[in-house]
Structure 1
């Protein structure tokens, strides 16, 4: 089975928030949203963008956890804190450069997107990508991502959010070609 990654085309987002509704339905999520939709400039326009864990290859959240409660699955997915290990110190929420891990005060536990590991480990798209009507969130092979990259003459340095001054390589790929090239596209 060929490995697939979550691929995000930010400029496609229409703000429908289907991804949020789907996230709460994923197994083991206890009806909690583990991703977000951000209003980019709410007083000026309706531009929105999804914000979710980028599943860093060397995640700051896991590095900062003194209890080793944040595990990295063999697929590369960075999982939510293990209930039996999390001590509620919130180091992970502070360490993440993307502001993703959230802390549940009642449960004294960190939770975040785990890339629907119960689905993606078997090659099934994560819930968010399976319902996105605008192709903002896609579940693609490396080859399919490379084909998309070739459609735009941007170079690798402008292609993904994972730059060295942030967190290095990520398993989720994010593109910005329409925004960077000043073009408008629908899906």
Structure 2
């Protein structure tokens, strides 16, 4: 006698990860910039930036990339609905077939992230390496960062870091609420907020 076992469907319990940034760890190597140009679909264009914080005072640098706002000003300001929001929360670059080159998005973004390519008449920005992150593969920038400034972490791992530094909720995470509110990228400055020098 042959028994046929019923098919058991695997539960899809995919752990949602976030790009986590500890800005004070940045050593200015710009590995993230080089990696960004190698991401699929970026056509070797850099979509992230590294800024000198106080160029005449010290060598402190910080990375800046799209924070993937929950309610993004760039998408709200687009009259052609060219900026789509992926189911993971990533805010994508303008669709070639829809972008009309009005540049509303570049003006609306409080972080100055979207850039406009005049030759292609198209806006482009960090899309969180959506081809990778949708499958839980770290974005290119986080995969090469040698100083742990950029990390690809679960909510549990972020909570562990928070507990380690013993900072209260108000001081731990900043989404720059005075500008755009909640974001899908977590930005933390535990060492600076504790008044300690911190690396890694």
The question of a shared fold, defined as TM-score above 0.5 by the shorter chain, is answered with yes
The alignment status of 1:37 with 2:50, answered yes or no, reads yes
Q: What is the deviation of 1:7?
A: 0.2
- How far residue 50 of structure 1 moved from its aligned partner, in angstroms, is 0.3
Query: How many Å apart are 1:151 and its aligned residue?
Result: 1.7
Deviation track 1:15-34 (CA, whole Å, cap 9, x = no partner) reads 00000000000000010000
1:144 is paired with a residue of what secondary structure?
helix
Q: Report the equivalent of 2:77.
A: 64
Distance 1:42 1:141 in 2: 34
| Cα distance between partner residues in 2 of 1:30 and 1:130 | 19
How far residue 8 of structure 1 moved from its aligned partner, in angstroms, is 0.2
Question: Aligned-pair distance for 1:80?
Answer: 0.3
Cα distance per residue 1:40-59 (max 9 Å; x no partner): 00011000000000000110
1:32 alignment partner, SS class: coil
Cα deviation, residue 162, structure 1:
1.3
Question: Structure 1 CA distance, aligned partners of 2:134 and 2:60?
Answer: 32
- Relative to the length of structure 1, the TM-score reads 0.96
Question: Which ranges in structure 1 are unaligned for 5 or more consecutive residues?
Answer: none
Task: Output the TM-score relative to the length of structure 2.
Answer: 0.90
SS of equivalent to 2:83 = coil
Q: Which consecutive aligned stretches of 4+ in structure 1 deviate over 3 angstroms post-superposition?
A: none
> Which secondary structure state, in structure 2, belongs to the residue aligned with residue 80 of structure 1?
strand
Which protein shows a greater Rg?
A: 2
Equivalent residue pairs, number: 185
Instruction: Encode CA deviations 1:44-88: one digit per residue, 9 max, x unaligned.
Output: 100000000000011000000000000000000000000000011
